[in-house]
Every structure is written in C-alpha cells, then in structure tokens.
Amino acid sequence: MNNGHLLVAYHGCDVTVRDALVKGTLAHLDESKNRYDWLGPGVYFFEGDAQRALRFAQASRDNPAKVYTARPIATASVVGAILRVHTWLDMTTQDGLTEFSAAYDLMLRSMESEDVPPPTNEAASPDDTDILLRHLDKSVFNYIHQVRHEHNAPPYQAVRAAFRQGKELAPRSGFHEGTHLQLALRDPSCVVGWFLPSGQRLYTDHRLKLAEGRLKRAAKDRKLRIQAG
C-alpha cells in the first residue's frame, strides 16, 4: 500500500453511529482508549472487510461486559470509510517490522534502566484462545509515537497490521477464520468520506428512535454488568 493512495475500510459500530456519520451529524469518531487497543490509540478499522467489521460489532453487542468498544452497541452495524493516509507505520512491510523491533529494544533498555518491568501480552480471560490483551505491542507503538514527537519527525497518521485470530481453517495451513487487516487511524483528517456498505440503507426516523432506545438500555445494562464484575 503506497502512501497517499485511497483505501476502503470499515468500522463496526451501533447503527445510530453509522447513520450519524453518513448523514454528517457526527463529524468524526473519538479515539479508542481501551485495553484491547493493540495498535495504540486511534479509531480502529478493518481494511476492505465489511463482514469482519460486522462480526466485531456483533461480538461487542453480545458480550457487553467485555467492553470491546468505548461506545456500547445494541444494533450491530458497519459504516464504510474512504481513507487517504500519507504517513503510516505499516507492520505488513519489512520497514515497519524493523522499526518496531528497534523501538522494542530501546524501550526495554529504558525500562531496565529505570527498574520498570515491561508489559506483557496475555489472554483476556481463561476461555480466550487468542492473545487479545496486547499490552506490550501497544506500549511499543506508543513509544514509537513518543520518540517521533520528541525528534520532530512527522507523526504517523495510522498504524496498519495483520492480526491472526480464530481457529485454523485446515491443519497447519496458517490460515485462521478471524484473520484480518486492521488500522488504527490517529488523524481524522485522513477520512475522505463515510458511506453505507452495499445493500444497507439509512434507518427511517421511526426505526432510528427505536434503535436509540435499545442503545440507552444497552448502555445501562453494560454499566451494571461491569459494576457487578
């Protein structure tokens, strides 16, 4: 992927957020700031994969206590975005992997000198088959952003990486059912526009009010579940 080229990405969200973005009543999405942000801060997109974005929105809706998203989701949906990113850290390239590796080494040395234990990547819960809490990875990306800022280097507008997830499709094949390309977009000016994926329509005012009611109930329910947990 070349810098500055247009690309299509999808964001899993509640239908009320989808319609607000497409209508223009919501200007942009806030940066995600939760424990699953393996690529560091940003708005998370699935590159070129609307179905994977929908699966994520459905998982957030069905597992409110896990807090996969900052905003609760009651009616799982997907919004498409056209992005133009000029400067990014692309972890699908050798340049990206080399920069990550060098930053990891420097970060470890800095932590060792201050007698600070490094973060670790770990499963979110005993029933998770994937390593979803990528505290170490996130720390390295944050370190990269910090160093670039301190040296007056152009900030990365996004981080891009492939994430292997889910069970193997065939023994030792290397292909997994949930594998995807993900983007953490740090600069909202990279969004050229929002759109509805093929086959979707904006909700009518009546349906939207019903969806807003479901969202309020879901937000209340999630809060209670988190408190109970």
Residue 137 lies in a domain: no
Residue 18 lies in a domain: yes
Let me know: does 134 contact 121? Beta carbons within 8 Å: yes
pLDDT in tens, the chain (229 residues): 567 789 999 999 999 999 999 999 999 999 988 888 999 999 999 999 999 999 999 999 999 888 888 889 999 999 999 999 999 999 999 999 999 999 999 999 999 999 999 999 998 888 777 888 899 999 999 999 999 999 999 999 999 999 988 888 898 888 888 889 999 999 999 999 999 999 999 999 999 999 999 999 999 888 877 776 6
Residue 171 lies in a domain: yes
Identity of the residue numbered 226: I
Q: Which residues pair with 122 in a beta bridge?
A: 133
pTM: 0.92
Residue 113 lies in a domain: no
Domain around 87: 1-103+155-229
Residue 146 lies in a domain: no
Let me know: does 185 contact 45? Beta carbons within 8 Å: yes
Residue 97 lies in a domain: yes
**Overall domain count for the chain:** 1
User: Using CA atoms in the order 202, 85, 165, 22, what is the torsion angle rounded to 10 degrees?
Assistant: -10
Beta-strand runs (E) in the chain = 6-14, 43-47, 76-84, 88-90, 121-122, 133-134, 158-163, 180-185, 191-195
Residue 92 lies in a domain: yes
Residue 37 lies in a domain: yes
